[in-house]
């Protein structure tokens, strides 16, 4: 039985004649709408929008927000997604009028403060990456990944047009092969060995004169830092290819090691994962990229450059792949990133990673006895457990555990990823969570594994909706409301 009352739709609250605003009488001569707009822009009848009062509207959305889980209300141990708590200080700073009231069409002379901030962002990301050139323009992590591959593709069109193959480990993020295809390249899978690391024999077998890029996430999606990275980069570089580092897991190595130092030629950052900006959720994000010197001419335009005591946007880059985002990208997110970087400083960023790794290993030690971790007793910032034994013995699946966690006030970890681990639970606590929160989460997981299959099969028990038919929703989505539906 559910203990939350279902929230009605605004259409269901609608009553004829209700209004949320009262406008004054028009104080200029009225003209027919047909004189103001072309006929094709005018609807035959008004849209059937809900008619509700202002209190109805406010209460509706406030009540909905109370049903939502977020990093401000609950622990979110989503592996790979890195759902860190977002410091409210950075939100306040980024909303100051000096940032928020600027317009991208202002003359550069009136944007010097903003341009200086962006230039410092480029410099700081370059230092963190160990790579000399940075573009802040991409609007999300996957967009940054795609932009980096566009940059590499442009480089090879100039220097070695026959290189079209992108090698991708089988435990990589799903965006990797998608980005390769979108950049006009061909994705080829490289297998992992039993330890969850790149299989060097399979890599050697697939390297040839057509190889353009090897994409690697390190630490990888199993939460393991691949100690073979020196050999991997040497093999790829000797074959004439480039190394792309998926920066999704930079939260584990900030200030400890730099991708450029272990052989990466290009990478992207996820500010929401690494520098605690808001997680996109479909809204604006950012995905800056850093590249080696030979790829720098191909970066998107413009780039912020310093000239004497001033700053300007450099559009004069003949080999550039061009814009990948309007204006200069989502600058509001970059302001938040800048605040985070300046708050922590170099030593603070290293502590971020050390605490993220400590939290992950503590949680691993708490749960490995009842949820085995196939890749060992140590991890970086995240680890992958499995409920395969529970499923075989008690018919309890990873999905059952994920749904039941909602009843305990926790969001589920990432489930069924990476695909190479059966009944996978990918858990990442991040550095922002306390020991008390981790203990409570581990205790909840243990209690759930002791419960009966019948109880778990119906979980969650405290939400308005328990288990919607996800397949039906994907195949036959309801995109509009009607009284008959």
Domain definitions of the chain by residue range: 10-66, 89-344, 355-472
pLDDT digits (tens, 9 = 90+) for 440-485: 999 999 999 999 999 999 999 998 888 888 899 889 987 776 666 5
For the segment 263-303, what is each residue's pLDDT rounded down to a tens digit? 999 999 999 999 999 886 556 789 999 999 999 999 999 99
Strands 133-135 and 165-169: unpaired
Q: Which fold has domain 355-472?
A: 3.90.1150
Per-residue pLDDT reduced to its tens digit, 180-212: 999 999 999 999 998 899 999 999 999 999 999
Nearest to 324 by CA among 356, 295, 286, 355: 286
Averaged pLDDT, 163-176: 93
Full-model pTM: 0.89
Amino acid 470: pLDDT:
85
Common-topology check for domains 89-344 and 355-472: no
Prior bond of 418 cis (ω within 30°): yes
Where does 89-344 sit in CATH, by number? 3.40.640.10
Output 373-378 pairs: Cβ under 8 A, ≥24 positions apart. 374/196, 374/421, 375/195, 375/196, 375/222, 375/223, 375/224, 376/195, 376/224
Q: How far apart (Å, rounded) are the C-alpha atoms in residues 167 and 142?
A: 17
Q: 66: pLDDT confidence band, cut at 50, 70 and 90?
A: confident
Q: In degrees rounded to 5, what are phi and psi of residue 390?
A: -60, -40
pLDDT tens per residue across span 105-118: 999 999 999 999 99
In angstroms, the CA 111 to CA 132 distance is 24
């Amino acid at each position: 039985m559910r203990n939350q009352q279902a929230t009605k739709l605004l259409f269901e609250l609608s009553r004829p004649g209700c209004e949320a605003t009262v406008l004054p009488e028009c104080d200029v001569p009225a003209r027919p709408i047909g004189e103001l707009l072309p006929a094709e822009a005018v609807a035959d009848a008004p849209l059937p929008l809900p008619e509700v009062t202002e209190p109805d509207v406010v209460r509706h959305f406030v009540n909905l927000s109370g049903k939502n889980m977020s990093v401000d209300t609950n622990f979110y141990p989503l592996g790979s997604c890195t759902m860190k708590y977002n410091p409210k200080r950075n939100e306040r700073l980024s909303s100051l009028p000096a940032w928020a009231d600027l317009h991208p069409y202002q003359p550069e002379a009136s944007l010097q403060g903003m341009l200086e901030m962006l230039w410092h962002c480029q410099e700081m990301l370059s230092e963190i990456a160990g790579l000399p050139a940075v573009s802040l323009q991409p609007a999300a992590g996957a967009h940054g990944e795609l932009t980096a591959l566009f940059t590499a593709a442009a480089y090879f069109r100039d220097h070695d047009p026959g290189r079209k193959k992108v090698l991708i480990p089988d435990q990589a993020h799903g965006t990797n092969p998608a980005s390769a295809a979108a950049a006009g390249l061909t994705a080829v899978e490289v297998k992992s060995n039993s330890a969850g690391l790149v299989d060097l024999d399979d890599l050697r077998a697939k390297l040839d004169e057509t190889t353009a890029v090897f994409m690697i996430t390190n630490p990888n999606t199993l939460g393991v830092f691949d100690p073979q990275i020196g050999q991997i980069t040497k093999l790829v570089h000797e074959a004439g290819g480039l190394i792309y580092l998926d920066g999704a897991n930079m939260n584990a190595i900030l200030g400890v090691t730099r991708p450029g130092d272990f052989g990466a030629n290009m990478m992207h950052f996820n500010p929401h994962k690494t520098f605690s900006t808001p997680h996109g959720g479909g809204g604006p994000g950012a995905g800056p990229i850093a590249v080696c010197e030979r790829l720098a001419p191909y970066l998107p335009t413009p780039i912020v450059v310093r000239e004497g005591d001033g700053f300007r946007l450099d559009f004069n880059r003949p080999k550039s792949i061009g814009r990948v985002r309007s204006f200069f990208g989502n600058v509001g997110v970059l302001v938040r990133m800048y605040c985070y970087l300046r708050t922590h400083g170099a030593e603070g960023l290293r502590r971020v990673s050390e605490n993220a790794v400590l939290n992950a290993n503590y949680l691993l030690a708490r749960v490995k006895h009842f949820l085995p971790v196939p890749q060992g007793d140590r991890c970086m910032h995240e680890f992958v457990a499995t409920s395969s034994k529970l499923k075989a013995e008690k018919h309890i699946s990873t999905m059952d555990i994920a749904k039941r966690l909602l009843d305990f006030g926790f969001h589920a970890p990432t489930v069924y990823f990476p695909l190479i681990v059966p009944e996978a639970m990918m858990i990442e606590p991040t550095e922002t969570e306390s020991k008390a929160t981790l203990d409570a989460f581990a205790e909840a997981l243990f209690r759930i594994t002791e419960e009966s299959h019948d109880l778990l099969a119906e979980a969650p028990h405290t939400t308005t909706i328990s288990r919607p038919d996800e397949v039906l929703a994907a195949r036959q989505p309801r995109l509009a409301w009607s009284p008959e539906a």
